[in-house]
Structure 1
Amino acid sequence: MGQLPRLVATDLDGTLLRSDRSVSPRTVEAIERVVAAGGQVVLVTGRPIRWLTRVYDHLGAQVPAICANGAVVYDPIEDVVLRADPLAPELLGEVARRLRAEVPGINFAVEIADGREMRHEAGYRIHRDEIPEAIRAVDAPEELLSAPAVKLLARAGVQDPDAFAAVVAGALQGLAEATHSSRSGLVEISAFGVTKAAGLAWFCARHGLTADDVVAFGDMPNDLPMLTWAGRSVAVANAHRNVLEIADEVTLANDEDGVAAYLEKLYPVT
């Protein structure tokens, strides 16, 4: 990539956001500089739509978002979903059947209504940032798997995240995508072929862009498809070892505003 990127694609947690989940003023200014120069910025995240409000409050700019690891493309200005690629109920049932047979004590949650709501089994541990009015525990597994879900979440107590993700991916090979973006043993499952790269490629095609027009930032295994696809890939210094291995470049850690530091070099103050 010998010229300025036409699109900046960035992960949120562990990448653009600091560890306290804030967006620094420096990062806000860097993104505003990209937009002022005629570039596009897209958030590419494992987060559901309902978790973006606080990010937009910090960010100011209502830039598009590719959510749920590529399953949902969201326009915050119009508050509309441009594209969704969920797991169908029949597929959810088969995925759950395979994983219950493979992993004793596994518990599930589903992101439904394009990620605006979540349903979970009683034994599933809820994230500390969850929005209470958007979630509900279900009494029967059949109810959990009865509606299309943009993401299936799986936990089985304390697990090594890489090892657990490998077990889940092996059980679902050829059926669904399995990845992780946390260090708590949570595995995120999407429909087969649905990744951050696929969602970003769809968005770029819609805007007449190619991979060569994109610089992408990330930190965790769920970012690997996007970083591999983009014309230029940048890992933050705190990234997972697998991300550091494949990235074209490494910038500062998220708590040091690594994305902003990199963008400032591309878009210097004139």
Structure 2
Amino acid sequence: MDQLPRLIATDLDGTLVRQDRTVSARTADALARCTAVGAQVVLVTGRPIRWLQRVYEQLHGTVPAICANGAVVYDPVDDVVLRADPLAPELLAEVARRLRAEVPGVRLAVEITDGRQMRHEADWPLRWEAGDPDVRGIESPEELFSLPAVKLLARAGTQDPDVFVQVVAGAVAGLAEATHSSSSGLAEISAAGVTKAAGLAWFCARYGLRADQVVAFGDMPNDLPMLAWAGRAVAVANAHPAVLEVADAVTLSNEQDGVAAYLEELYGAAESAA
């Protein structure tokens, strides 16, 4: 990549967002300055749409988002989904059948209505979403697969996340993609071919941008396809070992505003000339 990137693609949790779920003022300022000199910023996240508002409140304006690990491309200005690539109900049912047969104690949840709602089995462990009206338990097993889902989530107690996702990936091989961004054993399952890279590639094609015009930031295994696709791959210092191994560069941790630090150096000269 000989020229400044025209598009900045960044993961959220563990990359742009700090442990306390905030985006620093320095990071928000850095993204705004990059936008001012002509770069497009895109959030590329495993999060569903309903988790984006708090991030937007901390940025200087809204930017497009690729959610659910590439399954949803979202325009927050008009609050519309530009593209969705969900698991069909019949496919969900077959994936669930395989998981229940091959993964002892597995518990399932689905992100539906493009990630605006979640449905989960009765013993699914809720954390910060307890009490959210868009998140509720199912009344029958069939309800879990009554609608297309942009993501199927699987847990089986606290597990080594790398080991658990390998087990899940083996169970759904040939039907779906499995990845993780968890430290406690949460597998994230998408339709076959759906990754952050696929969602970002679709977005870039829509606006006439090439992979070699993109710089991407990430920290976890679900970021690996995006980092491999982008012209420049940057890991934060706190990243998973697999991410650190493939990155073209390593910046400071998310707690130290690593994305901002990298962008300040990369775009500083362009900002001065603008």
TM-score, length-scaled by structure 2? 0.97
Aligned to 1:245: 245
The alignment status of 1:202 with 2:202, answered yes or no, reads yes
Distance 1:130 1:35 in 2: 36
Distance 1:133 1:187 in 2: 24
Moved more, 125-134 or 246-255: 125-134
The alignment status of 1:32 with 2:32, answered yes or no, reads yes
| 2:180/2:220 contact within 8 Å kept | yes
Which amino acid is the alignment partner of residue 167 of structure 1?
Answer: V
Within 5 Å, give how 1:6-155 maps onto structure 2. 6-129=6-129, 132-155=132-155
1:104 Cα deviation from its structure 2 partner: 1.5
Q: 1:170 to 1:81 in 2, by over 3 A?
A: same
After superposition, give the CA deviation of every residue in 1:211-248 in whole Å (9 maximum; x if it has no partner): 00100000000000000000000000000000000011
How many residue pairs match? The answer is: 270
Aligned to 1:166: 166
Runs of 4+ with deviation above 3 angstroms: none
| Stretches of structure 1 lacking an aligned partner (at least 5 in a row) | none
1:139 Cα deviation from its structure 2 partner: 2.4
1:130 Cα deviation from its structure 2 partner: 5.8
Moved more, 201-210 or 57-66: 57-66
Moved more, 55-64 or 74-83: 55-64
| 2:32/2:60 contact within 8 Å kept | no
Distance 2:153 2:131 in 1: 16
Distance 2:2 2:61 in 1: 27
Distance 1:265 1:105 in 2: 48
What secondary structure, in the 3-state scheme, does the structure 1 residue paired with 2:41 have?
Answer: strand
TM-score, length-scaled by structure 1? 0.98
Q: Among the aligned pairs, what percent are the same residue?
A: 73
1:267 Cα deviation from its structure 2 partner: 1.3
The alignment status of 1:231 with 2:219, answered yes or no, reads no
Aligned to 2:157: 157
Distance 2:48 2:127 in 1: 12
Query: RMSD of aligned C-alpha atoms?
Result: 0.9
